[in-house]
A and B are shown apart, each in its own frame.
Chain A
């Protein structure tokens, strides 16, 4: 399956780089490719693995994650991802899906934070439990409406912090998120760019994550996605689960609220 995927991807990428295909037909190819995979998103394998990890007693305390509260009550996962990030009274913090999951792994299963987050993303030859668990948790919101009204003062504050970061320019290319994602109908090379300042644009961007990334051969979580945006902006690297990333998520999820999640997605 992998080899097949990469072969098609290689064809798509080469098409973009060269001049064999007109840009219209390249985008058509990508759309066709997405449709082809719609019945067999490789992310489904991670979803299954994530479910197993969720239900299996693990860690120094040898308990499962089934009593983890992702915001809707202990063990309630249906629609939970779609209403994150949110304020949690027990930690007095605004947390996203990943920081909440790690919180449960630490407090309920007894992992140290370092152990829990050591493999927060996968590499060839290195699996990531977090990637699988988040794919599973995200999938439980497939079809749910994104609902992050950010009414709690801490959530409202984080939404504003996220907005500030979205427009903040710096680095050797003068970048901000808004440079590429603040206008309608633009593309970089042949890649369409979502306007993340509108509900529809933010909805398309946020509703598909976690997403299988064909070019990476694995699922990316939202933290992975946003940390890579900062790399692309030529900035230094944020900490995993950093407040700046969670703030951006609150800002984007608030903007996307009302749109329907389709996850796990498939992206370039």
Chain B
């Protein structure tokens, strides 16, 4: 599993360097990087590092040519990990809570999150889900009645899991974060959000 991913990364890296060839990018990267406070801890600064997908998506303003798109999606698919017990559907009530939480992960000196602040999927920032929550964003498509419309077959459950774990598997450079890849959500938490989407008892599929 590791090897093909590494090979794909190499291929992407050389492709990217070739396509960039743009002096301003190097200057801009230098200006951006050197603009941060020198007392930012090193582990904070690693948040500026880009993997191949980030770099290519930036370079193509999130609209890569088909060849690059396919390469990104293939490499991202190889990153997905599953819960040890193999169960991809969890507790929709836990998923409902996670979908609403938008806090966590803020760093810096002015207004960082307190340590241990709950981190959620923040799904409502971008998606419509349960009918009762009217404060939903529209950056992503509506997911209301997700399970009602698509059912809860193994394929749909796996699709939902994979999409949340690494959204770029299906759509390179999508706006949606790669929640599993970044360990923002654990595999177990992702199964709860999957349940929130597909469980017939979930408010997503009621009303």
Chain A contacts to B: CB under 8 angstroms: 16-17, 19, 21-23, 26, 121, 157, 160-161, 164-165, 167-176, 178-180, 182-183, 185-191, 193, 227-228, 230-232, 234-239, 242-245, 247
- Asked if B1 is at the interface of the complex by the 8 Å CB criterion, the answer is no
**Residues 16-53 (chain B) with a chain A CB within 8 angstroms:** 24-25, 27-29, 31-32, 34-37, 40, 44-45, 47-50, 53
Which residues on the A side are within 8 Å of B34 (C-beta)? Answer: 243
CB–CB A236/B135 < 8 A? no
User: Pick the contact of B105 from A167, A172, A247 — CB < 8 Å?
Assistant: A172
Shortest CB distance A20–B (Å): 9
User: Pick the contact of B24 from A160, A169, A173, A174 — CB < 8 Å?
Assistant: A160
Smallest Cβ-Cβ distance to A227: which chain B residue: B110
CB–CB A244/B139 < 8 A? no
Which residues on the A side are within 8 Å of B132 (C-beta)? Answer: 19
Smallest Cβ-Cβ distance to A161: which chain B residue: B28
CB–CB A172/B61 < 8 A? no
Q: Select the residue from A22, A167, A191 with max chain B CB neighbours within 10 A.
A: A167
A176 to B135, CA, bound (A): 23
CB–CB A232/B35 < 8 A? no
- Please choose the segment from B84-92, B156-164, B174-182 that sits at the chain A interface, where 4 or more of its residues have CB less than 8 A away: B174-182
By secondary structure, the A interface counts as mixed
- Asked if B118 is at the interface of the complex by the 8 Å CB criterion, the answer is no
The 8 closest A-B pairs by CB, nearest first: A242-B35, A237-B108, A164-B28, A244-B35, A236-B40, A161-B28, A236-B44, A173-B177
Smallest Cβ-Cβ distance to B61: which chain A residue: A167
Which residues on the A side are within 8 Å of B175 (C-beta)? Answer: 179-180
**Residues 177-203 (chain B) with a chain A CB within 8 angstroms:** 177-178, 182-184
Which residues on the A side are within 8 Å of B126 (C-beta)? Answer: 188
By secondary structure, the B interface counts as loop
Shortest CB distance A87–B (Å): 15
CB–CB B25/A164 < 8 A? yes
- Asked if B14 is at the interface of the complex by the 8 Å CB criterion, the answer is no
B48-90 contact mask (Cβ, 8 Å, vs A): 1 or 0: 1110011001100110000000000000000000000000000
Which residues on the B side are within 8 Å of A175 (C-beta)? Answer: 177
User: Pick the contact of A16 from B27, B28, B135, B139 — CB < 8 Å?
Assistant: B135
Given A169-B58, A234-B105, decide whether A189 and B28 contact each other with a Cβ distance below 8 A. Answer: no
User: Pick the contact of A186 from B40, B50, B57, B138 — CB < 8 Å?
Assistant: B138
CB–CB A231/B24 < 8 A? no
A234 to B43, CA, bound (A): 13
Which residues on the B side are within 8 Å of A26 (C-beta)? Answer: 135
User: Pick the contact of A231 from B37, B102, B110 — CB < 8 Å?
Assistant: B110
Smallest Cβ-Cβ distance to B28: which chain A residue: A164
Given A164-B29, A167-B61, A189-B125, decide whether A238 and B50 contact each other with a Cβ distance below 8 A. Answer: no
- Asked if B4 is at the interface of the complex by the 8 Å CB criterion, the answer is no
B132-143 contact mask (Cβ, 8 Å, vs A): 1 or 0: 111111110000
User: Pick the contact of B139 from A170, A179, A242, A245 — CB < 8 Å?
Assistant: A179
User: Pick the contact of B31 from A17, A228, A232, A244 — CB < 8 Å?
Assistant: A244
Which residues on the B side are within 8 Å of A172 (C-beta)? Answer: 47, 105, 177, 182-184
User: Pick the contact of A169 from B40, B57, B108 — CB < 8 Å?
Assistant: B57
- Asked if B107 is at the interface of the complex by the 8 Å CB criterion, the answer is yes
Which residues on the A side are within 8 Å of B27 (C-beta)? Answer: 157, 161
Smallest Cβ-Cβ distance to A224: which chain B residue: B110
- Asked if B106 is at the interface of the complex by the 8 Å CB criterion, the answer is yes
